Structure 1
Amino acid sequence: MGVRIRQADERDRDQVVRILEEAFHDDPVSSWVFPDEDHRRAVHGRFLGVFADVTLAGGRVDLAEDGTATALWLRVPAGAPEEEDGTPARMREAADPGNERAELVGRLTGAVHPHDRAHAYLLMIGVSPERQGEGIGEALISEVLERCDREGLPAYLEASSERSRRLYERLGFTFTGQTVDLPDGPSMWPMWRAPRAG
């Protein structure tokens, strides 16, 4: 399908957050972090805004030109980080300071994130609910994966649902074998994709 994609910048921040908020409103992980739906509606955008800010500052945000989808990518170097990632604490502080889960989800995924090889990290991808299942997300991801293949760069992500896990498997990602199990909540599936030879 012909999805027109452009790279987003700071001027697109609100649109990126809106897409993510709509796409993840009913996601199992978001529902675990913010169990009360009215409360989730009030704070979810601030929570997701931290992801957008981090990626706009140091990564790549792709945006479907029709405003229906976005993908947030970070390039992660090899080697353990020299200092603790403060992003989980920022997520909690920005969205819901009294909610431990708003920080815990980032700490748990960070604990299993691989650091032995440089890789492209698909931090988040969101497609507007009314357009899901049309191949838009796959088109967004495929462009970056093709570049990864050319550069010999692996890719990594955490799938937050069985549905998304199946999509990523079709794109060549494989489950690393260790789930991230949220306390009394859903599991997430860390997934790795080795670059494909041309």
Structure 2
Amino acid sequence: MPTSIRPLTTADLDRAAQILGAAFADYPWTTWCVARDDHLRRVTALQRLYLEHLALPHGRAYIDDTGNGVLALIPSDAPAPSEEVSARIAELHGDRLDRLMAAEERMSTLPVPDGAWLLATIGTTPDSRGTGLGTALMAHGLAELDLAGHPCWLDTSTERNLRLYERFGFAVVGHLTHDGVPVWRMHRHAA
């Protein structure tokens, strides 16, 4: 049976944040830049903030009809989060905020195509890994960007993700390492 993907709504925020929190709790980047104490709660809360304050009002976010996978895309012209949301993001990063700030400064030197949307996040529940759900979410979200003629970019900290993204037309354009944590910047032209 084909996977049904639909736009994420505010009613989906808690479930979507749970999915992404679990998906990114042990991800190299979030392990490195989000405080260790109460780590899963912090990562889940960060994902909810990004979905609620960036993806939903300014970008595109999707969830499958079974509530097991999420994808979020953010346009290049999305406004920065409010001071209140930024303060909450800083609080959630905790004692690792300085790491994040230094890394973001270094990463700002990596290229981003003009007008490109950011593939901000994609994640599935552990039980859904390997079922094709991530592929279905990617195909759906990127098809929407292609229809509008938008290029896309992303950062990933897991080498095994490179092959998945390359299957969708992304190419590595830069690589940095932060205290042993790799980050690959990838670009994709609109099809």
TM range (shorter): 0.7 to 0.9
1:31-46 mapped onto 2 (5 Å cutoff): 31-34=31-34, 36=36, 39-46=38-45
Deviation at 1:102, TM superposition (A): 6.8
Percent identity of the aligned residues? 26
Quick one: which amino acid aligns to residue 47 of structure 1? L
Alignment correspondent of 1:187: 182
Separation in structure 2 between the aligned mates of residue 122 and residue 147 of structure 1, nearest angstrom: 12
What are the Cα deviations for residues 88-143 of structure 1, in whole angstroms up to 9, with x where unaligned?
A: 655213x1444325742773476146455212211001111121122111111112
Distance 1:69 1:102 in 2: 29
> Which runs of 5 or more residues in structure 2 are unaligned?
none
| Shift in CA distance, 112/14, structure 1 to aligned 2, threshold 3 Å | farther
Task: Determine the C-alpha separation between the residues in 1 that align with 2:185 and 2:120.
Answer: 11
Which whole-Å CA distance do the structure 2 matches of 1:45 and 1:163 have between them? 23
TM norm structure 2: 0.84
2:114 to 113, 117, 130: 117
How far, CA to CA, are the matches of 2:14 and 2:80 in structure 1? 29
Q: How does 1:1-198 map to 2 (within 5 A)?
A: 2-34=2-34, 36=36, 39-53=38-52, 54-77=54-77, 90-93=88-91, 95-101=92-98, 103-104=100-101, 107-108=104-105, 111-112=108-109, 114=111, 116-176=113-173, 178-182=174-178, 184-196=179-191
Contact persistence 2:21–2:41 (CA under 8 A): no
State the SS of the aligned residue for 2:74: strand
Deviates more, 1:123-132 or 1:145-154: 145-154
Contact 2:5 2:64 in 1 (8 A): yes
Amino acid across the alignment from 1:23: A
- RMSD, aligned α-carbons: 2.9
Contact 1:32 1:185 in 2 (8 A): no
* Deviation of the 1:175 alpha carbon: 0.4
- Unaligned ranges ≥5, structure 1: none
Q: Distance in 2 between the 1:98 and 1:125 partners? A: 26
Cα distance 1:105–1:68, how it changes in 2: closer, same or farther (>3 A)?
farther
Count of residues in Structure 1 that have an aligned counterpart in Structure 2: 189
Q: TM-score, normalised by structure 1?
A: 0.81
After the TM superposition, list the runs of 4 or more consecutive aligned residues in structure 1 that deviate by more than 6 angstroms. Answer: 81-88
